Each structure stands twice: as structure tokens, then as C-alpha cells.
Amino acid sequence: MATDQELKITISIVTVNWNRKSDLAQLIDSLRGQSDPDFEIIVVDNGSSDGSPAYIRSQAPHVRLIPLDENCGVKAFNTGVAAATGRYAVLLDNDVVLPPDFVGKIRETAAEYSGINVFALNVLDKNGVRQKDYLPQDADRPVPWHNFIGGGVVFRTDYYRRMGGYHDQFFVYINETEFAARILMDNEDILYCPHITLIHKTSPAARIGATAFFHYIRNALLFFAMYYPLLERWNLICGFLTINGKKALRDRRIGPYLSALVSFIKAPKQYHRGLAKIDRDRLGGCFQGNPALSAILGRRVWGK
């Protein structure tokens, strides 16, 4: 039976959609099947042309739809959280599927850890494997962590707003790591919760291609420039460009690779120098293990 404290916790589910009507419908179906039905659903639509807004209006009128005129990327989550009425905002990719006890576990965990502002959830692939690099692979109970996956994370709503949400320059990819850096600099814990699981289908149409490669390269370089001191910054940038230059040649993506480099050079930089070295090392390790040039010298980087 829920305690008085748990009953006072209000929850907003926020997702962003762009031309994924089928995925969105499956997410809404899994939300309809929650054993704890007390929450609101907010869908921010990034200018979809596949009939997604019409589907919500006709088939899911209980969902709060916020239609945008154009694709704003992950920044649309900021719009959704700004409209949220819950004390906690649950940010989900629209291609996730939730177990029936998902919302109930969030409410119970938020009540138990009332001093925590950010909860990283256990995002599994379709085979039940935790996403590598971003999540600890061996934790079986809530533990402090240094990062989160944007496809499944819970924020205290007022904290998200105070921190400004996702950065305007990060249209997609690396946006979580950049936000995590600000959270760590704010001396806040990110609590990883392995008991709160969800399945991330990772739709291939939106995850594979030159555009995704462009944003990944550009934003990783921006992140290194923004949060690392000079020597560490260039050690990481040179190593990262080396590793991904090999991939660009192999996959015939030299065009997006060079475009990303040019875009990075032209982009305005906001330099932050408050991230502790231990946190820089941990967050840097989220990029292909450790992309620093000093760490890859001596390997056969350009080998098979």
C-alpha cells in the first residue's frame, strides 16, 4: 500500500517524436498498461509528417500534445518539461517499451531517495543487455553514477528547469553527457537504478546514417572543447578524430566527417573549467573506451 509520501509524488512522462508513429503508438500502449495509472503523458512532436499528431488526437486524446513547426532535436524535451505539472519528469525516447511496474517503481524510488534530483534508469537493448559505456554493467542496487541515457532518465522537474535542460548546441547525441557534466559540476548525484528497466528498440531508420555520424563527431568534439583543459582537450580530440577517421574511410563517410570537423571549428564555444579530473576521466571513457591519442599510440589504429 502506498505511503502518504508516495501519494504526493506526481509524475509527468515526457517524450519527443519525429516521424515515428508506430513506435510512439507502442510506447503509449505500454503506458496504458501501467499498474500505477496516476501520471500525465506529454508528447512534443518535432514537426512530424507521418500523421503522428493526428494519431494522438484521434487515438490517444488523454495525451498532452505539443506540436512544433520544425525538428528541434532533443531540445524539444526542454519544451515538454516546461509544460510538465509533475514533481518528477520522466524523459523517454519514443522507441522504448515499458514493463507494467515501470511508473510504480519510479514513484517508490523517488520517495525512498527524496534528496536525489536525477535518476539514471536501466536501459536495455532488445536482448536484455545494458547499454555499455554509459551504464555500470555489474550494479544490482542503486549506486551513484556519472552519466545517464537520455532514452530513460528521471529528473526532479524544478531541477531540470533550473539547470536549463539540454544544451541548444547539441541537436542529438552526446547531449546526455554534456548535461551530466553540468550536473556533476553542480555537486549533484546521478543515482543509477538497475531495478527500473525499460527496453530500447533503437529504430535503425533514425540511428544509422551520415546525419547521425555527423552529429556524433561534431558534438563529441564540442564536449571535449567545453569541459577539458587545453592538453587533455587536444589529447582527446586528436585521438577521437584518428579513431573515427578510420571509420569514415572504412564506411565511406568522409563527407560527414569533414563537415562535422568544419562545423565544430565554426561553432561558438562555451568553456567550463569546474569539472573535476575524476569526472573528466569517467565521462571521457564513455567515448569508445578512451579515445585519447596517448591511450591509442602503439596500437594498430589503422590496421584491420
What pLDDT, in 10s, does the model give residues 231-288? 999 999 999 999 999 999 999 999 999 999 999 999 999 899 899 999 999 999 888 7
Query: What gap in Å lies between CA 79 and CA 152, rounded to an integer?
Result: 17
Q: What are phi and psi of 89, to 5 degrees?
A: -110, 125
Name the β-bridge partners of 120: 153, 192
- Over residues 51-77, the mean pLDDT reads 97
The cell for 228 is 577539458
Provide the phi-psi class of 294: left if phi over 0, else alpha when psi is between -120 and 50, else beta: alpha
Query: Is 287:220 a contact under the CB 8 Å cutoff?
Result: yes
Cβ neighbours of residue 265 under 8 Å, at least 6 residues apart? none
The phi and psi torsions of 117 (rounded to 5 degrees) equal: -100, -20
Residue 224: predicted pLDDT: 97
Confirm if 25 and 39 have CB atoms less than 8 A apart: no
For the stretch 24-55, pLDDT in tens is 999 999 999 999 999 999 999 999 999 999 99
Per-residue pLDDT for 194 more than 50?
yes
SS3 66: strand
CA distances, 279 to each of 226, 227, 232, 235, 275 (Å): 14, 10, 13, 16, 6
pLDDT confidence tier of residue 303, bands split at 50, 70 and 90: very low
The pLDDT mean for the chain works out to 92
| Gyration radius from the chain CA atoms | 20
- Which one is predicted more confidently, 301 or 12? 12
* CB 173 within 8 Å of CB 286: no
8 A C-beta contact, residue 206 and residue 186: no
pTM: 0.92
CA–CA distance, 160 with 89 (Å, rounded to integer) = 8
pLDDT, mean of residues 182-188: 97
Give me the pLDDT at residue 134, please. Answer: 81
**Mean pLDDT on 179-193:** 97
pLDDT in tens, 278-293: 999 999 988 877 888 9
